[in-house]
Amino acid sequence: MSASPSPENRGQWGSKLGFILAASGSAVGLGNIWRFPYMTGENGGAAFVFIYLACVIFIGLPLMWLELAFGRHTGKNPVDAFRVTGRPKEVWLYKYAGPAVGVLCLAACFFVLSYYGVIAGWTIGYIYDSIAGTQMDFKEFSANPNWVIPLFAVFIAATIYIVQAGIEKGIEKWSKILMPLLLGLVVVVIIRSVTLKGAMEGIEWYLSPDFSKVDGKVVLAALGQAFFSLSVGWGLMITYGSYMPKSQNIISNGFWVALMDTGVALMGGLMVIPAVFALGFPVDAGPTLTFETLPAVFSKMTAGVVIGGLFFLLLTVAALTSSISMLEVPVSYFVDGKRASRQKAAIIVGIVAFAVGLPSALSFKGSETFSSIPTSDKVTVRLEGINAQNSTPEEMKNVLADSDASVGSLNYSLVELEDLAFEVPSVDNNNTATIIKELKSNEVAHLRHSVTENGEKAEFRLISVSGGKKAVAELRRALAQKDIRIPEAAVKRSPTTAADKIRTDLTFTVALSKTNAVNKALDSNKGSLGYKKLELKAETTSFFDIMDKYFGTLCLIIISLSLSLYVGWMWDSSKIVGEIEQGCPSFTKPLIGNMTPAAIWIFFIRFVCPVVIFVVLLGKFGVEIF
């Protein structure tokens, strides 16, 4: 057993249940209830969910077993685990590349902690909001540094406090009590969400896959989400495995953790997505989706104040059981080498993570600099429904001459103008008219509208609308927010009755620095150009998104790839098989014919995982194999 130093001085899990709860406490967190629903929303729904599940089963789970066994075998943190196993010291690949992957693990945990804490801080704010019934506006809240930063600080302080207290007393004790409670509450919220009027549409969207929407980006996002949510690819399971007694069964332990985590993610989706549709929020809103939707759901519940308050409290706790494990990874590295005391390491790493997280905290319009970082020096200008005769290339050249903007090629596309008609109950007449007026200037561009009262009903007609299908969706969404619901099929579309029938959409790009000048030039010619809607879109991202993209996705994928290559090909996968066998003797007994579970697992680690991950990575860098 010389290769397996006894972990006695490092603290150990008290029981099998203790481990499962702590590891699923790490796995179940904001990743399930906040990240999963919005990723599903941004990536097209059911097809994403399907690919995500495949990633969990075929890639995530085999790697989770690998990490646990690697950790228990070495009894070390990720960096030292690589260091002690890379025997032929002369070979640089073993000497440096392995530990470098270990360092990447520490980096992933550290940097993700820095923005994870920001979102967790929001959950604390919402405990207050629910109980006090302040119904704060999410956009204002998340943009206000005076709220967001102190809450972030409180959360990080709590994380530090628990981690410095040590493994068994801290992490394990808390997880046991709070995880089951959260599950119960999630079920209550699901029941409310799916029974909202109009929720059915969301359920359908969530459950019926449309694979035509799937591309390399969606697969990358699904794989990244699987790693993020399972806490695999962070070296975390290496660390947690190192606290696991030899008698425990790695296979069944890992399986339970994955099952719980995936179950809660699917429930998280079921909690948020039907409500998003019922309440008319845009499903691809990104990281703010869950926070905008859930308070609205609670406000429609009996005892919503209590349930909402309790829910956000438990969500904070779920985030805490995850964040403590994130902090634990770098801390265990410092503690192991006697590089520092547990207390000191926890405090210093925690405080630095807070400092690094400040730009992320300001990424939701708290500071323009961190919220809109341009990713290209071009802006796309889109003019909807422009008068075709007055917008010839020569005309456009004249219009834009003063702004001195080097205009890219002009792309015209003919638009079919349509009239839309639908009925609402007469009581909703005024509200509907107001909404249509509001929409006119931006969302649903149209010429004018008319209303015909007809007994109990009022018939609305929107004349000369461009982008029929999109306009219908926008319109229904806006009405739903005021609780006025019209089924999609009840909106009649017909060719426009307006005199002016020929319009085109026009798009072109201009230099970012010329945005204002172009805007002015177009605006002062609005009369003759006659466009109905002007959209200027600069491609921007936020500091938060950059962190999530590189550390919360890419980094995990690279670590996982390296781990499967390292254990599968470079080091010795039979040592891991031997490790798993302890506590799970059937791992090496024939399962089908003379094939053992161990052989199947090795096949996944050597071939399936690296090949799939590699292909997805290539796709990210623009190489399409399929």
* Positions in the binding site for ligand PHE (CB under 6 A): 26-27, 29-32, 109, 228-229, 231, 234, 236, 322, 325-326
State which residue, 260 or 584, has the beta carbon closest to ligand PHE: 260
Q: Calculate the alpha carbon distances from 116 to 121, 288, 542 in Å.
A: 9, 13, 15
Rounded CA-CA distance 64/257 in Å is: 9
Sign of CA dihedral 572, 617, 68, 108: positive
State which residue, 26 or 142, has the beta carbon closest to ligand PHE: 26
State which residue, 109 or 379, has the beta carbon closest to ligand PHE: 109
State which residue, 273 or 421, has the beta carbon closest to ligand PHE: 273
Tell me 418's DSSP state.
E
Neighbours of 302 (CB within 10 A): 8
State which residue, 80 or 261, has the beta carbon closest to ligand PHE: 261
Over the range 529-555, which residues count as b (16 or more CB within 10 Å of their CB) and which as e? bbbbbbeeeeeeebbbbbbbeebbbbb
State which residue, 257 or 529, has the beta carbon closest to ligand PHE: 257
Nearest Cα residue to 466 out of 535, 397, 523: 535
Rounded CA-CA distance 43/38 in Å is: 8
* CB half-sphere exposure, 145, CA atoms < 13 A: 12
State which residue, 322 or 371, has the beta carbon closest to ligand PHE: 322
Q: In the complex, what is the shortest distance from the CB of residue 324 to ligand PHE, in angstroms, rounded to a whole number? A: 8
Q: In the complex, what is the shortest distance from the CB of residue 327 to ligand PHE, in angstroms, rounded to a whole number? A: 9
Rounded CA-CA distance 558/552 in Å is: 11
State which residue, 264 or 458, has the beta carbon closest to ligand PHE: 264
Sign of CA dihedral 506, 509, 512, 517: negative
Q: In the complex, what is the shortest distance from the CB of residue 555 to ligand PHE, in angstroms, rounded to a whole number? A: 11
Tell me 410's DSSP state.
-
> Going by DSSP bridges, is the β-strand pair 503-511/457-465 parallel, antiparallel, or unpaired?
unpaired
Q: In the complex, what is the shortest distance from the CB of residue 266 to ligand PHE, in angstroms, rounded to a whole number? A: 13
Rounded CA-CA distance 147/139 in Å is: 12
Neighbours of 31 (CB within 10 A): 28
DSSP string for residues in 486-549: --GGGSEEEE--SS---EEEEEEEEEGGGHHHHHHHHHHTHHHH--SEEEEEEEEE-HHHHHHH
Q: In the complex, what is the shortest distance from the CB of residue 26 to ligand PHE, in angstroms, rounded to a whole number? A: 5
Q: In the complex, what is the shortest distance from the CB of residue 330 to ligand PHE, in angstroms, rounded to a whole number? A: 11
State which residue, 29 or 597, has the beta carbon closest to ligand PHE: 29
Rounded CA-CA distance 248/149 in Å is: 42
- By beta-carbon distance, which residue lies closest to ligand PHE? 31
Q: In the complex, what is the shortest distance from the CB of residue 18 to ligand PHE, in angstroms, rounded to a whole number? A: 17
Q: In the complex, what is the shortest distance from the CB of residue 138 to ligand PHE, in angstroms, rounded to a whole number? A: 20
Beta carbons within 8 Å of 240's beta carbon, 6+ residues apart: 19, 22, 23, 26, 68, 71, 325
Q: In the complex, what is the shortest distance from the CB of residue 236 to ligand PHE, in angstroms, rounded to a whole number? A: 4
Q: In the complex, what is the shortest distance from the CB of residue 48 to ligand PHE, in angstroms, rounded to a whole number? A: 16
Beta carbons within 8 Å of 509's beta carbon, 6+ residues apart: 378, 379, 380, 381, 407, 408
State which residue, 79 or 326, has the beta carbon closest to ligand PHE: 326
Instruction: Answer whether 163's CB lies under 8 Å from 328's CB.
Output: yes
Q: In the complex, what is the shortest distance from the CB of residue 157 to ligand PHE, in angstroms, rounded to a whole number? A: 18
Q: Residue 295 has which token pair?
A: 């308070």
Locate all alpha helices (DSSP H) within 337-490, ordered by sequence.
Answer: 342-361, 368-371, 393-401, 429-441, 468-481
Q: In the complex, what is the shortest distance from the CB of residue 31 to ligand PHE, in angstroms, rounded to a whole number? A: 2
Q: In the complex, what is the shortest distance from the CB of residue 560 to ligand PHE, in angstroms, rounded to a whole number? A: 12
State which residue, 234 or 604, has the beta carbon closest to ligand PHE: 234
Rounded CA-CA distance 530/533 in Å is: 9
Q: In the complex, what is the shortest distance from the CB of residue 267 to ligand PHE, in angstroms, rounded to a whole number? A: 13
State which residue, 230 or 613, has the beta carbon closest to ligand PHE: 230
Amino acid at 406: S
State which residue, 26 or 363, has the beta carbon closest to ligand PHE: 26
State which residue, 25 or 366, has the beta carbon closest to ligand PHE: 25
Tell me 144's DSSP state.
-
Cα–Cα–Cα angle for 496, 500, 502, nearest 5°? 85
